[in-house]
Amino acid sequence: MTVRTPSDLMGVILAAGKGTRMRPFSEHWPKPLLPVLGKPLMAYQLEMMAAMGITSVVVVIGHLGHEVVRTLGDGSAYGVKIQYVEQEETLGIAHAVSRLEPYVDRPFFLFLGDIFFDTENLPSMVDRFCGGHGLGGLLACKREPDLEAIKRNFVVLTGPDGLVQRVVEKPRFPRTDLKGCGIYLFDLSFFDAVRRTPRTAMRNEYEITDSIQIFLDDGYKVEAAEVVKADMNVSYPADLLQLNLRLLAQSGQPNFLAQGVQIGSQSRLDRCVAMAGAQVGANVQLTECMLFPGARVPDGKVRARTIFTPDAEIRCAPGEA
């Protein structure tokens, strides 16, 4: 299939992970559904795809997949049509991609569903892909000043022509600051590499970076696209709080209060995010806190950097993750 516009592409979002480091949230909420200023994290990705003209999206579900289906429905609320595919075992990103082959019939944008992306000129990836350069794929990247962040992800080594020569998963000694960020654009031929991806000895999973390297070794041309300004992987409760506070600060609002939030008398909220149906008692002082839907804060409570859910209170000290 010749790709001319984003409408010729499919979207794919991987949303099957268990998120064990996000407990207790992950017992009730799949990571891609965690609330970010009143919307599921994954909703931002669906809206990004819709804004580019992508209308057909496949979502890979696993842990609490029924909650993903219940929350996102058919996707019409976000301007797309969603088809769901179940990953029975969570054996890595490449394994999840391998489940997609019967359902994907054209080049596809692939997003990791548990990451919040702040991008610039994301459609330029499509322009390059469609521009007659003979590309088999593009990797969304950013220049990462934080060495530890690079070590937790993968680095992208490019040649003078900007083509990717090698990708290294979780490098101990990164040779570049160009970090891969969890957004990919691939031709259908990428599935050939996915099928030949072996399990890793270290994590006993099928790594997408191994698939990408096989793809490169097969002679396919892949470019690095520096289109990511920031990427925030929601791995721990403190990450979720920090993401909400970051977007709140960008909005210029003193607080984010969703519909139906109740605030008791003499209570003060400073840089807080409260989801629909949350309740705050009287004489409460909250600073940089987050309230999940239906959470209740008792009278007289004084807290800073704390997440409240209907049945838990999670403290997130500065720098805690």
pLDDT at 163 over 90: yes
Give the CA angle between residues 49, 50, 51 to the nearest 5°: 90
Report the alpha-carbon distance of residue 258 to residue 165 in Å, rounded.
47
Alpha helices in the chain (DSSP H): 41-52, 65-72, 93-98, 123-130, 147-151, 190-195, 208-217, 237-251
Q: 263: helix, coil or strand?
A: strand
CA 13 to CA 60: how far, in whole Å? 6
Please give the Cα distance from 303 to 288 (Å, whole number).
9
Determine how many CB atoms are found less than 10 A away from the CB of residue 50.
17
| pLDDT tens digits for range 81-121 | 999 998 777 778 898 899 899 999 999 999 998 899 999 99
Calculate the average pLDDT of the chain: 89
Pairing of strands 178-186, 135-143: antiparallel
> What pLDDT, in 10s, does the model give residues 57-78?
999 988 788 889 999 999 999 9
Cα separation, 191 vs 12, whole angstroms = 14
Give mean pLDDT, residues 226-244.
Answer: 91
CATH class of the structural domain 6-233: alpha beta
Report d(CA 197, CA 317) in Å as an integer.
40
**Mean pLDDT value of segment 271-285:** 95
Q: Fill in the DSSP letter of residue 89.
A: S
More confident residue, 149 or 211: 211
Where along the chain do the CATH 3.90.550.10 domains lie? Answer: 6-233
Count CA atoms closer than 13 A to 54's CA, side-chain side.
27
Q: Is the pLDDT of residue 25 over 70?
A: no
Q: Which of 154, 147, 214, 221 is nearest to 181 (CA)?
A: 154
In one-letter notation, the amino acid at residue 113 is G
For 304-313, what is the mean pLDDT?
92
